[in-house]
Amino acid sequence: MSQIREEGHGEEGQAILIVVLGMSIFLLGAVGLAIDGAHLYSQRQMAQAAADSAAQAGMMSIFDGTNGTGTTGFSTTSAFTCGTSDAKTPCVFARNNGFGGSASDTVTIDFPPGPSGVTLSTDPSYSAYVVRARVSRNVSTTLMRMLGSTTTTVNATATAAIVQVFSPVPILVLHPTLAQALSLQGTPGIRICGGPTKSIQVNSNQSSDAAHFGGSATVDLSHAGPKDTLGDCTKGTGADFGVYGSPPPPTPAAISLGSTGHYIQPASPITDPLINVPAPPLPAVLGTQTALSAGAGICPLSAGVHGCTVMTPGKYPTGLSLMNTTALMKPGIYYMVTGGFGCAANCNLTTITGFVDGASGTNTGWDGTVAGGGVLVYNSGSGPVNVGANGTVYMVGSPAASVYKNILFFENRASPANVAPPIKNANSLGGGGAMTLIGTLYFTNTKATMLATQSHYQELDLSGNSGSGTLIQGEIIADVLSLGGTGNITMNLNPFASLVISQVALVN
């Protein structure tokens, strides 16, 4: 009996050893799973950051128009796989975030259709609207090898796109490459009230002088921004000033940003938000000009000895050059075939309210439907717009709800250049009198035109003398903007105005 009991005790000890050994292996596997799992999770997070960065960088390069040139450039015609020292922009950003520098990594870039539910940009200047980055890495395991797994593949995917968004429109200077695309000279006082969180954007990539601050000009943005809901400089706390190229911020004496505004440099370009607004059709009828004496009909006594010229919308084959008169413009589209639009010496200019021009059927967008709907001056051919020499000007643009989105002056995107010296025919608004412009001032050729020939663009000069005052209630979109003289220029912007613009975003 004693011997039997001793043999039983020996067997029990062996069973305990087997159990302990089994539990040890299980615990080692569990610990390995925890350690390797944490490591794989960290690798997965790194992979996602690398994919996000590569997709966004590639999309920003396309958005900024830099993907087609230099060692960092890349084609969007087909997918590609990054090498371990690849200089293409998305490859560099993936590598900077830890993926793509070794043979165990794979980074691929392609350009698929947009994901469902995403509204892509329709701007034709972009070579692609979607960039997808996919990264993968074979990660070696440690203690998990005891369970049979020696490597695990970590994957991540990110998709960036140029999408359409509704956003307030800043004062936008569009030329992509010109020096002094925005120029301030003399001693004008430029004041902006209300509007969006960014008041001014200069798209030029010039590294030394994209925006030029000369003379004693001042820009006051201290009351700009959406908090000034009435656009009367009573509540705004400041707005941003963005420049894609240089220079660094001007002196505080030149620009006041308020408590919430910033000088942003570099600030990625903003595309033309009105690029898809169609040019108006050529009217079938001629515009008319009817002379009235002061006090006759709708001509006010204040017109004096020069009297009035009552104008109707329509086609003006040689443009308009108004002098020594009070010009009264009935609502509609004024189509300058060639010769430009001028209101020069002793010219007063007023948009008449209370009229509906529906007889001709030529004014697409608001013809016959809106009383006092304002005017659209479309400058189709050669010759600039030149308004404001010593006269009083009050002009209201097209209705905001029309296809022309409140545009007042609309330059043909294919028209000849209207620029400063040596050609000396820049578009000009300002002078010695009071000027109120309600609507968008839209003076641009296409980006492709400006890139092909740097000197082919549309310049807008705003100026005045010490006795003048210019009030603009709307937006300015021009290739080049020059502000000068000694007068005061005030812009009262609608903080809630919005148009469709293109913007880069991660969409998947």
CA distances from 328 to 155, 164, 322, 335 (A): 68, 39, 11, 16
pLDDT of residue 459: 94
**CA proximity to 468, closest of 432, 440, 504, 437:** 432
Euclidean distance between CA atoms 99 and 92, whole angstroms: 9
CB 316 within 8 A of CB 334: yes
pLDDT of residue 293: 95
Q: pLDDT tens digits, the chain, 508 residues: what are they?
A: 445 445 555 555 566 656 555 555 555 555 555 566 677 788 888 999 999 999 999 998 998 788 888 889 999 999 999 999 999 999 999 999 999 988 889 999 999 998 888 888 877 778 899 999 999 998 877 655 555 567 788 899 999 998 877 666 678 999 999 999 998 887 777 888 888 888 899 999 998 889 888 778 888 999 998 888 877 788 889 999 999 988 777 776 788 999 999 999 888 888 888 888 889 999 889 999 999 999 998 899 988 999 999 999 999 999 999 999 999 998 889 999 999 999 888 889 998 866 654 434 344 345 544 444 689 999 998 899 998 767 788 898 988 777 888 899 999 999 999 997 665 689 988 766 678 888 899 999 999 899 999 999 999 988 766 555 778 888 899 999 988 777 677 887 765 566 666 778 888 7
Torsion on CA atoms 52, 239, 406, 331, rounded to nearest 10: -170
pLDDT of residue 364: 39
pLDDT of residue 357: 47
Which structure tokens are listed for 214?
């000369």
Q: Give the max Cα distance, the chain.
A: 143
Which structure tokens are listed for 102?
């070794």
User: How far is residue 319 CA from its own chain's centroid?
Assistant: 32
- Burial (CB count within 10 angstroms: exposed 0-12, middle 13-18, buried 19+), residue 177: middle
Residue type, 221: L
CB 408 within 8 A of CB 394: no
Cα angle value 279/280/283 (rounded, 5°): 145
- Burial (CB count within 10 angstroms: exposed 0-12, middle 13-18, buried 19+), residue 324: middle
Q: SS3 of 85, please?
A: coil
**Residue 170 dihedral angles phi and psi, to the nearest 5°:** -80, 180
Positions of E strands within 318-392: 320-322, 325-329, 332-336, 341-343, 347-351, 375-379, 385-387
Euclidean distance between CA atoms 236 and 193, whole angstroms: 7
- Burial (CB count within 10 angstroms: exposed 0-12, middle 13-18, buried 19+), residue 224: buried
Query: Rounded to two decimals, what is the model's pTM?
Result: 0.73
